[in-house]
Structure 1
Amino acid sequence: MDRKDDIIEINLGELFSILLGRAFLIISAGLFFALSGLFVSKFVVHPTYESTTKIYILNKEENQTVTYSDVQISTQLTQDYAELIKSRYVLEEVIQRLNLIDMEYKQLASVLRVDTPSDTRIVAITVKDEDPLMAMKIANCIREVSSEHITNVMDIDAINIAETANVPTEKASPSVTRWTILSGFVGAVVVAFFVVLGYLLDDTIKSNDDVERYLGLSTLALVPLSVDEQDKKNKKAKKK
């Protein structure tokens, strides 16, 4: 590393050797953080479950066959249906029907996801909750209430159930694998950052080569260390 006129020139080879010399510390930190992420995701963070129900919507008049125009119109309107499903009226009605007295409208909206796959007339309603049974109940109730609301607002015949919500058996989050890998990576990067930072901030003269590099002066002679000083230096080097 060279400093001239407040400009820092970094010797990449020297920096790489510094990182290589601290490889054990960096790897150890990565493993420690990875184990911490594994422990937190598995034993500390409460798991959440997702339950999904699907509805099939087709805009057509009673006793008429389904035409290509009906399919196109229904596909275009799926975004409108999604907004109606997430409306305040629907969610507050669900809270009343399920007697969710401790839950507010915004809280229920935060655990609700409505997906409308392109080129389909299917609308998927997904609810996330720490209780898998409650996730299923809320999803099915939202489907029932929103079906009634959409029928009244959009003036369509009926909404068919494509798939009812079930009790999820596997948690949706947190992902133990993802937390473990991400935590390990972050830990290794943080330690490597501090190693590099220490290298950049270290402006001490360690050898006659540093004198020539930083000061532009040639050394005339070297004063050897005494035996005691050499032992102390070796001990410090081992501690590092």
Structure 2
Amino acid sequence: MEENTIRQTDEIEIDLWEICLVLIHNLALIVSVGIMVALGAFLVTQIFGVPKYESTTKIYILNKQENNAVTYSDIQLGTQLTKDYAELIQSRFVLEEVVQGMGLDLSYDEMKKKVSVTTPTDTRILAITVTDTDPVMAMQLANAIREAAAVHIMNVMDIQAVNVSETANMPMDKAGPSVLKNTLIGGVLGVFLMIAIVLVRFLMDDTVKTPEDVEKYLQLSTLAVIPLNEGETDAKKKKKKVKRS
């Protein structure tokens, strides 16, 4: 039992070493394919990638009764209700009102994909971010959504006011697609794909190439090695002799 275990362990180590040698032998090919795929991803992103811009506006909501001071319970309740406010901002009522008010040819689902609402940790501030291919349109949509959402939140939640913490900005730099990110992803995918191809070809190849393979797989010792093409070998020797003379 111990001898069998040792043999199995040795075979596994040899196989892993062979795999490493195969990868090292094909390292230039793997790196070349990775560079080519990365270059392709760079060109596709640079030529066909549609730039997108993000504009963000922020609102501050505090639930309190009129003529009363702000208490800790008001702050705690406002924090708990931020998820409800986020749902109201992305509701069909608000987004369709913005679409109709701005005369846009967009459905509710298309509009909703452009809008995202986030809440910084332990705050009552809601950030409304709109993504669009036109930076001016992104800013206008963000402000319009904020105004429509403020009215809708006050009516539904029965609160006094929704304060504007930050108006939407004019985005100057595009938010995506990232050329660097896509290029790196393309390069990594190309490398892993080529590694997979090399390993599959190696594992599927069961031909015997060397005397060591005969001893390993057939458990037979080799007495001699015969060239596959003796005529070609003799021709090479004759050429060498002619050159020397």
Match of residue 152 from structure 1: 155
- d(CA) in 2 for partners of 1:61, 1:22: 73
Q: Which of the numbers 209, 212, 216 marks the counterpart of 1:209?
A: 212
The alpha-carbon distance between structure 1 residues 138 and 230, as it changes in their structure 2 partners (threshold 3 A), is farther
Q: Which of the numbers 122, 125, 129 marks the counterpart of 2:128?
A: 125
Match of residue 72 from structure 1: 76
Task: For residue 74 of structure 1, give the secondary structure of its aligned residue in structure 2.
Answer: helix
TM-score by length of structure 2 reads 0.87
- d(CA) in 1 for partners of 2:180, 2:217: 48
| Largest Rg, 1 or 2 | 2
Amino acid at match of 2:119: T
Match of residue 235 from structure 1: none
The alpha-carbon distance between structure 1 residues 231 and 38, as it changes in their structure 2 partners (threshold 3 A), is farther
Amino acid at match of 2:216: R
Given the alignment of the two structures, is residue 55 of structure 1 paired with residue 59 of structure 2, yes or no? yes
Query: Which deviates further from its counterpart, 217-226 or 51-60?
Result: 217-226
Amino acid at match of 2:58: K
- What stretches of structure 2 of length at least 5 have no aligned partner? 1-7, 237-245
The alpha-carbon distance between structure 1 residues 230 and 160, as it changes in their structure 2 partners (threshold 3 A), is farther
Given the alignment of the two structures, is residue 174 of structure 1 paired with residue 194 of structure 2, yes or no? no
TM-score by length of structure 1 reads 0.88
Amino acid at match of 1:54: K
Amino acid at match of 1:161: V
The alpha-carbon distance between structure 1 residues 76 and 231, as it changes in their structure 2 partners (threshold 3 A), is farther
Given the alignment of the two structures, is residue 15 of structure 1 paired with residue 16 of structure 2, yes or no? no
Distance apart, 1:9 and its partner CA: 8.7
Per-residue Cα deviation, 1:172-203 (whole angstroms, up to 9, x for no partner):
11111111111101101111111111110111
Amino acid at match of 1:104: S
Given the alignment of the two structures, is residue 46 of structure 1 paired with residue 50 of structure 2, yes or no? yes
Amino acid at match of 1:23: L
- d(CA) in 2 for partners of 1:35, 1:167: 32
Distance apart, 1:77 and its partner CA: 1.1
Amino acid at match of 2:97: E
- d(CA) in 2 for partners of 1:128, 1:178: 19
Q: Aligned-residue CA RMSD in angstroms?
A: 2.1
Per-residue Cα deviation, 1:76-95 (whole angstroms, up to 9, x for no partner):
11111111111111111010
Given the alignment of the two structures, is residue 218 of structure 1 paired with residue 218 of structure 2, yes or no? no
- Bigger fraction of residues in helix: 2
Structure 1 consecutive aligned stretches of length 4 or more whose deviation exceeds 4 Å: 7-10, 229-232
